Chain A
């Protein structure tokens, strides 16, 4: 069976990460679980490790995008074939991991995105966040000529080619959402959405929290605009021969 990694970035999730890891290990015990501790000030790393996950800790907080890229680099170094990414705050239902992976392992798509808007009984945000998500959803759908219902979902399954692609400088470490989808599309990767249930965040905030909504809107619009201007991505290159953005491409831990 090909190696699969479940990647969970976490920042100050000491109260919830243990349950998330245990649930994942119950549902997919044959998969490895990696928690990237993004400079948490609580006991996130200890709890995750006690629950059975491998833990990589940043020395300080670097942000969600950097945390998941660390996970991609780990997966590349450890030669994982597939990777499932989910949030560490319990928003993503681990029961959908296999459904998310199915089209990727079958070779039907390169990246499968879990969409809360396709699932039944899924939490949907309200207010300004919903309007913002709706705007970027329509924009991305129009630009890649494919219906996308959830452009900000952090619940994804990817194959090794995408893992390698995401370890390069192309990956937008600052809020990797809609612009990442456009970059993937322009580089020739196949994208598919899969229904996935998501829950409301119990504490009322998440790693995607809108504490900088204005900057997020600005950054996303600017990033999408410059992505469309980039000629290298327009040629559909998959960057399979591109070097990862760290100095070592493999053998980080053996």
Chain B
């Protein structure tokens, strides 16, 4: 991994000269990887051979999941079953996931930056971070609601006491 700020991604630099063997130290040629049209297309866009990339099926699945989540959350807000403030994280995450799978070179760049070995790992780590942020959001909200319930309960108790005192006074006059 380069230490200078402008060191290019070694993965990309290597892939400019695609090899048909894995460069084993004994020089033996290993299994030849048959490149499909999709592999060639992705290589032309990213400069990476297929073994470094997310398989096509995974990409389609990731795109489908992000679109379905987006639509589902919008529908929940439309039906007033989900408040807008809780939809922010879901919508932003689904849009980011969609963009990263579509703009695959960005996902590759992030994969390199975080030191992951494959793009799928990056998305998995992203999902974990999303769940973490969601948990934090809920914890913050629950903390606030707990305080509010406490205050409401106390106010309710004090109001009941006031009503009791007023009832005694009113009852005593009669």
Chain A positions within 8 Å of B, measured between CB atoms, are 59-60, 169, 174, 215, 218-219, 222-223, 225-226, 229-230
Contact = CB atoms under 8 A, between A and B. Distances in A.
A219 B84 contact: yes
B52 to A, nearest CB: 35
Contacts of A59: 148, 151-152, 155
Interface stretch (B23-31, B32-40, B73-81, B113-121): B73-81
A174 B86 CA distance: 12
Interface string B130-164: 00000000000000000110011001000000000
B51 interface: no
Nearest to A225: B74
B78 A230 contact: yes
Given A215-B88, A218-B88, A226 B151 contact: no
B19 interface: no
21 contacts: A59-B148, A59-B152, A60-B147, A60-B151, A169-B80, A174-B83, A215-B85, A215-B88, A218-B84, A218-B88, A219-B84, A219-B85, A222-B74, A222-B84, A222-B87, A222-B91, A223-B84, A225-B74, A226-B74, A229-B74, A230-B78
A60 B148 contact: yes
Nearest to A173: B83
Given A222-B84, A229-B78, 19 more contacts: A59-B148, A59-B155, A60-B148, A60-B151, A169-B80, A174-B84, A174-B85, A215-B85, A215-B88, A219-B84, A219-B85, A222-B74, A222-B77, A222-B87, A222-B91, A223-B84, A225-B74, A226-B78, A229-B74
Contacts of B155: 59
B141 to A, nearest CB: 14
Interface in B58-107: 74, 77-78, 80, 83-85, 87-88, 91
Contacts of A174: 83-85
Nearest to B88: A218
A173 to B, nearest CB: 9
Contacts of A219: 84-85
Q: Is the interface on chain B under 10, 10 to 19, 20 to 34, or 35 or more residues?
A: 10 to 19
Main SS class of interface, B: helix
B37 to A, nearest CB: 38
Nearest to B148: A60
Contacts of B147: 60
A195 B174 CA distance: 56
Contacts of B78: 226, 229-230
Contacts of B85: 174, 215, 219
Nearest to A222: B84
Nearest to B76: A226
The 6 closest A-B CB pairs, nearest first, are: A226-B78, A219-B84, A229-B78, A226-B77, A59-B155, A59-B151
A223 B155 CA distance: 34
A236 B152 CA distance: 38
B78 to A, nearest CB: 4
A204 B152 CA distance: 32
B135 to A, nearest CB: 20
Contacts of A215: 85, 88
Contacts of B83: 174
A181 to B, nearest CB: 17
B75 to A, nearest CB: 8
B1 to A, nearest CB: 35
A194 B78 CA distance: 31
A215 B92 CA distance: 12
A170 B128 CA distance: 35
Nearest to B84: A219
A165 to B, nearest CB: 15
Contacts of B77: 222, 226
A174 B85 CA distance: 9
A226 to B, nearest CB: 4
A159 B55 CA distance: 61
A169 B152 CA distance: 22
